[in-house]
Amino acid sequence: MTDLEDLPGVGPTTAQKLRDAGFSDLMAIAVSSPSELAAVAEVGDSTAVKIINSARQMADVGGFERGDVILERMKDRRKLTTGSKSFDELLGGGFESQAITELFGEFGSGKTQIAHQLCVNVQLPEDQGGLAGHSVFIDTENTFRPERIVQMASAHGMEPEEALKNIHVALAYNSNHQMMLVEKAEEIAKENPVRLIVVDSLTGHFRAEYVGRGTLADRQQKLNTHMHRLLKFGRLNNAVICVTNQVSAKPDAFFGDPTRPIGGHIVGHTAMFRLYLRKSKGGKRIARLIDSPHLPEGEAVFMVNEDGIQD
Ligand code: GTP
Ligand code: MG
C-alpha cells in the first residue's frame, strides 16, 4: 500500500497531522473535502485540492466490474437466521450477506440483543440457518456481554467457550478508531472465516463528536466512507453486516428522521436493509422492515428471553 508521504505536497509532518486526525489511508483522503483536509493538515485550500486529487488517482476507489462478476458474487449471498421464524420471514430468510442491515430503535428495543444472537447463530452450520463462521463485533458503548453469549450458545447446545472464541471483539474509543477497526477486521478475516461484522453502535461516537449544524457534511461523509468499507468487507468475505442506530422519539438535527438511511443514498438501495424495532406488550418486540430493495414492507413479532431471540 502507498504511504501518505508519497502524495505530492505531503511531508512527514503533514502526514502525521493527517494520521492523527484519522486520515490513515489514501481512501480517507480521496473522499474528504478540501476544507476538511485543509483544516486538519494545516495547508492551504489549493494544496488540499491537489492532495485529494492525487489520492483519488492512487487509491483503489472501487472501479468497474463486469456484470457477470457481480452476478456470480450475488449468487453466493447467504441468509443468517435470527432465531425467530417470523423475523426470518420478514427478511426473506434472515439477515443477508453482502448487505448492510441497520437496526434502529429506541434504547432497550433489542438492537444489542439481536447483535449478540447473530454472533452465536452465525456459528451454526448452514443447514441450521448459520454460516459456519466467526464474527467481528465492533463495540462502541461497551455493550458486549460474554455471559449473554454463554446463555445463547448453551441454548443451541454449543460449547460456550468455543462460541466465545469465535467472536472477535474490539472496543472503539472514538469514530476514527471505529473506522480503523474495520481495516483490522480485514486482517482477522484473512485468518478466520468471518461471516458477520457488527457495529454496535454505528452512530454513537459520530453523534457525540460532531455537534452543530456546521459539522453535518463532514459527518455524513465520514459515515459514508465507513459504510462503504463495511460493505466492501461484506462483499469480500460474503459476510453479513449488522449496524445499530439508536433513535429517540423526539427528532434531532441530523439523526432524527428514522426514515432516512444513515449512510445517505450513496450506499445504495440494493445493499441496505433497514429494520425499525420497538417494544410491545408482554416482552414482545416488533421489527418493521422499511424501504427494502426487493422485499415487501411488513412487520414481525418476536421475543427476547433467557435463551435469546425466539418467536
Ligand atoms: P440501547 O443500546 O440502549 O439503544 O438499547 P438496545 O436496543 O441495544 O437494547 P438491548 O438489545 O440491550 O435490549 C435490552 C432488553 O433486552 C432488556 O430490556 C431486556 O428486555 C432484554 N434482555 C437483555 N438481556 C436479557 C436476558 O438476559 N434475558 C432476558 N430475558 N431478556 C434480556
Ligand atoms: Mg444497545
Whether 1 shows a pLDDT value over 60: the answer reads: no
Chain-wide mean pLDDT for the chain? Answer: 89
Is residue 84 domain-shared with residue 150, that is, in the same domain? yes
pLDDT band at 143 (very low <50, low <70, confident <90, very high): very high
**Among 58-67, 143-152, 207-216, 221-230, which stretch is predicted with the lowest mean pLDDT?**
58-67
Is residue 198 domain-shared with residue 264, that is, in the same domain? yes
Q: Can you give the CATH number for the domain in which 36 is found?
A: 1.10.150.20
Is residue 221 domain-shared with residue 251, that is, in the same domain? yes
Contact indicator for 222, 37 with CB cutoff of 8 Å: no
Which residues are 240's β-sheet partners?
A: 97, 196
| pTM, two decimal places | 0.82
Is residue 98 domain-shared with residue 41, that is, in the same domain? no
pLDDT band at 266 (very low <50, low <70, confident <90, very high): very low
Whether 263 shows a pLDDT value over 60: the answer reads: no
Contact indicator for 155, 308 with CB cutoff of 8 Å: yes
- Convert the pLDDT of each residue in 185-208 to its tens digit: 999 999 999 999 999 999 999 989
What's the 65 CA to ligand 2 centre distance in angstroms? Answer: 37
Is residue 130 domain-shared with residue 248, that is, in the same domain? yes
Is residue 205 domain-shared with residue 124, that is, in the same domain? yes
Assess whether the C-beta atom of 195 lies below 6 angstroms from ligand 1. no
42-50, Cβ contacts within 8 angstroms, sequence gap of 24 or more: 42/14, 42/17, 43/9, 43/14, 47/9, 50/8, 50/9
Is residue 306 domain-shared with residue 182, that is, in the same domain? yes
DSSP H/E element including 74: helix 67-75
Q: Can you give the CATH number for the domain in which 235 is found?
A: 3.40.50.300
Is residue 39 domain-shared with residue 86, that is, in the same domain? no
Pairing of β 240-246 and β 194-200: parallel
Give the pLDDT of residue 73: 87
Give the pLDDT of residue 93: 96
How many domains does the chain divide into? 2
pLDDT band at 217 (very low <50, low <70, confident <90, very high): confident
Assess whether the C-beta atom of 204 lies below 6 angstroms from ligand 1. no
Whether 177 shows a pLDDT value over 90: the answer reads: yes
What's the 113 CA to ligand 1 centre distance in angstroms? Answer: 6
Is residue 54 domain-shared with residue 96, that is, in the same domain? no
d(CA 32, CA 182): 18
User: Ligand nearest 279 Cα, by number?
Assistant: 1
What's the 268 CA to ligand 1 centre distance in angstroms? Answer: 30
- Residue listed under C-alpha cell 468497474: 64
- Averaged pLDDT for residues 48-76: 83
**Phi-psi bin for 77: left (phi > 0), alpha (psi -120 to 50), beta?**
beta
Residue 13 maps to a domain: yes
